[in-house]
């Protein structure tokens, strides 16, 4: 694997985001996810003969907001084009998209990785309609669900500025956060509301021209994006090193195997025959329109991050974690009104709450109770394992932790004399562990701590206990 170090990967990402407008892009059908097949359709989104599309203005507004939030230039004049191809999930046999004059162009966003911060360019953002879904059934064969036909999408195309899987993931997370903050999409990945295509090529380090790229379509999670990138990078380098040639093609990423497979080459690719849709007049925006939309966007993640770090003294990492969902940051600030142990609150968020939240922020615990829990810990009244235990219970059924700590006598034992006596007792019956410890086995110390903790029903102040134990050993 020495050779692989001589190469760098060049990645550009195309992200499709479903906008959370109430109605579809060209008709007034609802966009709600998960309805019974073909119940959210009308002649327009079914593409029946004779129907005409009428653009939902909200779609333009949302797309412009996405553009403004990612520092794009907004077009005062843009148009919609037809992308022609045959597929059973596309009722008109063309997708209304934007070709040469997208709504937003030339933006960027900043990402943070271990190597510091980096600017990733955004080539363009355009609006388009989603296609339907094919449902395969053993008994009835292939069926078409048109509920998704005409659900509004924006496609965000990055510059080929990304050089590693880590950067790609950082970009996706940052983009997702920005979109969430702009209030234009819920970005629910399990509903396909935030999907990513990866364009990847490799080149020898120092080389300026790009290699031939491949495209991996519709990858839903950051973890799979990282896997696909690592695999495809290796595959391309190995192909080149063994004298092969990279073919420009679309490849499918298989989540089961973590590998990519060739789907179709450029030679077999469609000629989409883009042309301006004659049913739709151009989209025109004035400076005032754009300014108004700009004023509607709330605080964006970068601004808020500065605020969190400054006001609450949080680390960049903790701030970023809180910012992955605006609702979570809002909740944090609500809790912070009732306690001054900000760092402790942030820790509970980054460990406990994140563990319990898989998609989208949700916390059933009242902000006041959450603040009390942090204060109990900050004032050294309870220890971390009690925090964990109490939080788990509060999640199931919210309560005032101060009352419960008192009622259930959960306060930690800080008294050095009491704890020292316990240490002495433990050591009396732990000859083997003491020998192990002295022979350098680190695990033995943990075992001794565990025993001592057990004698206090988990209520010992762990810091004091460890100090006393070390003294005796």
Partner 1 sequence: MSELTQRTIYEHAEALRKKEYSSVQLTQAYLEEIDRKDKTIGAYITVTAERALERARNFDEEKDSVSKASVLAGIPCAIKDNICTKGIKTTCASKMLGDYIPPYNAHVVEKLEKSGAIILGKLNMDEFAMGSTTENSAFKICRNPLDTNRVPGGSSGGSAASVAAKEAVYTLGSDTGGSIRQPASFCGVVGMKPTYGSVSRYGLIAFASSLDQIGPVTSTVLDNALVLNTIVGYDRKDATSIKRTYEDYTADIRSGVKGMKIGIPSQFFGDGISDDVKKAVLAAAETYRTMGAELVSVSMPSIDYALSAYYVISSAEASSNLARFDGIRYGYRCDGYDDIDEFYKKNRSEGFGTEVKKRIMLGTFALSAGYYDAYYKKALQVRSLIRKEFTEVFEKCNFIISPVAPTVAYKIGEKVHDSLQMYMGDAYSVPVNIAGIPALTLPCGLGEGNMPVGMQLIGPAFSESILYRAGYAFENRGK
Q: By C-beta, is 271 or 288 nearer to partner 1?
A: 271
8 DSSP β-pair partners: 203
Three-state SS string over 22-83 comes to: CECCCCCCECCCCCCCCCCCCCCCCCCCCCCCCCCHHHHHHHHHHHHHCCCEECCEECCEEE
| Smallest separation (angstroms) from partner 1 to the CB of 16 | 23
CB of 267 to partner 1, least distance (A): 13
What is the closest distance, in whole angstroms, from the C-beta atom of residue 305 to partner 1 in the complex?
42
Contact by Cβ (8 Å): 231, 266: no
**Minimum CB distance to partner 1 smaller for 21 or for 324:** 21
Packing angle, helices 165-182 and 301-312, rounded to 10: 90
- Based on its alpha-carbon atoms, the radius of gyration of the chain, rounded to whole angstroms, reads 28
Nearer to partner 1, 256 or 271 (CB): 271
Nearest-approach distance from CB 211 to partner 1, in angstroms: 23
Smallest distance, partner 1 to C-beta of residue 141, A: 12
Residue 44 or 151 having the CB closest to partner 1:
44
CB of 148 to partner 1, least distance (A): 15
Token representation of residue 392? 């788990």
Residue 49 or 116 with smaller CB distance to partner 1: 49
Beta carbons of 253 and 220 less than 8 angstroms apart: no
| 220 in Cβ contact with 52 (< 8 Å) | no
> CA 429 → CA 426, 435, 437, 452, distances in Å?
6, 12, 14, 11
C-alpha span between 328 and 350 (Å, rounded): 10
Q: What is the DSSP letter of 413?
A: B
Closest distance of CB 93 from partner 1, Å: 3
In 324-383, alpha helices (H): 326-336, 342-348, 354-356, 367-378
Please identify, using beta-carbon distances, which residue of 269 and 418 lies nearer to partner 1.
269
User: In angstroms, rounded to a whole number, what is the distance separating the alpha carbons of residues 295 and 273?
Assistant: 38
Determine the Cα–Cα distance for residues 434 and 423; give it in Å rounded to an integer: 12
Minimum Å gap between C-beta 279 and partner 1 is: 5
Compare residues 81 and 333 and give the one whose CB is closer to partner 1. Answer: 81
Nearer to partner 1, 273 or 393 (CB): 273
Its sign, for the CA torsion 285, 286, 290, 293, is negative
User: For residue 57, what are the β-bridge partners?
Assistant: none
Name the helix (H) or strand (E) containing 141. Answer: strand 141-145
CA angle, corner 294, sides to 185 and 173, nearest 5? 40
Closer to partner 1 at the Cβ: 48 or 421? 48
CB of residue 45 to partner 1, shortest distance in Å: 12
CA distance 350 to 361: 12
Instruction: Give whichever of 130 and 320 is closer to partner 1, judged by the CB atom.
Output: 130
Between 280 and 297, whose beta carbon lies closer to partner 1?
280
Q: How far is the CB of 142 from partner 1 (least distance, A)?
A: 9
For partner 1, the closer of residues 54 and 418 by Cβ is: 54
- In angstroms, the CA 447 to CA 351 distance is 24
Q: Which residues bind partner 1 (CB under 8 A)?
A: 43, 46-55, 82, 84, 86, 88, 91-94, 144, 271, 273-275, 278-281
Of 411, 425, 468, 461, which is closest to residue 445 (Cα–Cα)? 468
CB of 145 vs partner 1, minimal distance in Å: 12
The order of strands in the sheet holding 275-276 is: 94-97, 81-84, 275-276
Q: How far apart are the first and last CA of the chain?
A: 47
Q: How far is the CB of 137 from partner 1 (least distance, A)?
A: 16
b/e for 352-363, b at 16 or more Cβ within 10 A? bbbeebeeebeb
């Amino acid at each position: 694997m020495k050779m692989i170090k001589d190469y760098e990967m060049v990645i550009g990402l195309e992200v499709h985001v479903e906008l959370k407008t109430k109605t579809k892009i060209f008709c007034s059908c609802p966009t709600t996810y998960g309805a019974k097949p073909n119940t959210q359709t009308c002649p327009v989104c079914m593409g029946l003969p004779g129907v005409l599309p009428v653009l939902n203005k909200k779609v333009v507004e949302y797309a412009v907001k996405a553009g403004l939030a990612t520092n794009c230039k907004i077009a005062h004049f843009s148009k919609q084009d037809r992308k022609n191809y045959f597929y059973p999930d596309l009722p008109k046999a063309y997708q209304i998209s934007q070709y040469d004059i997208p709504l937003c162009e030339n933006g960027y966003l900043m990402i943070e990785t271990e190597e510091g911060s980096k600017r990733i360019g955004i080539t363009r953002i355009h609006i388009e309609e989603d296609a339907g879904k094919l449902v395969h059934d053993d008994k009835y064969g292939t069926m078409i669900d048109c509920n998704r036909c005409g659900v509004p999408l924006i496609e965000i195309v990055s510059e080929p500025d990304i050089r590693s899987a880590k950067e790609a993931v950082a970009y996706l997370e940052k983009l997702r956060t920005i979109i969430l903050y702009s209030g234009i999409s819920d970005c629910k990945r399990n509903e396909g509301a935030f999907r990513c295509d990866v364009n990847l090529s490799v080149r020898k380090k120092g080389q300026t021209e790009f290699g031939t790229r491949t495209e991996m379509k519709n990858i839903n999670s950051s973890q799979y994006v990282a896997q696909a990138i690592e695999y495809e990078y290796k595959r391309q380098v190995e192909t080149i090193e063994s004298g092969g040639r990279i073919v420009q093609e679309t490849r499918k990423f298989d989540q089961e195997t973590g590998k990519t497979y060739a789907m179709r080459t450029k030679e077999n690719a469609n000629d989409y025959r883009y042309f301006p849709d004659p049913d739709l007049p151009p989209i025109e925006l004035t400076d005032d329109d754009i300014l108004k939309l700009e004023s509607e966007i709330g605080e964006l993640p970068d601004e808020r991050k500065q605020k969190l770090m400054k006001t609450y003294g949080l680390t960049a990492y903790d701030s970023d974690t809180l910012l992955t969902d605006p609702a979570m940051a809002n909740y944090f600030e609500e809790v912070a009104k009732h306690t001054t142990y900000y760092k402790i609150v942030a820790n509970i968020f980054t460990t406990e709450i994140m563990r319990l939240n898989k998609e989208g922020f949700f916390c059933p615990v009242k902000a006041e109770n959450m603040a009390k829990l942090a204060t109990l810990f900050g004032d050294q009244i309870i220890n971390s394992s009690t925090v964990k235990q109490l939080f788990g219970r509060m999640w199931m059924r919210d309560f005032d932790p101060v009352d419960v700590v008192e009622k259930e006598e959960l306060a930690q034992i800080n008294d050095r004399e009491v704890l020292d006596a316990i240490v002495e007792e433990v050591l009396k019956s732990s000859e083997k562990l003491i020998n192990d410890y002295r022979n350098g086995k680190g695990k033995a110390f943990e075992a001794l701590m565990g025993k001592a903790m057990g004698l206090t029903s988990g209520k010992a102040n762990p810091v004091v206990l460890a100090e006393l134990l070390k003294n005796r050993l």
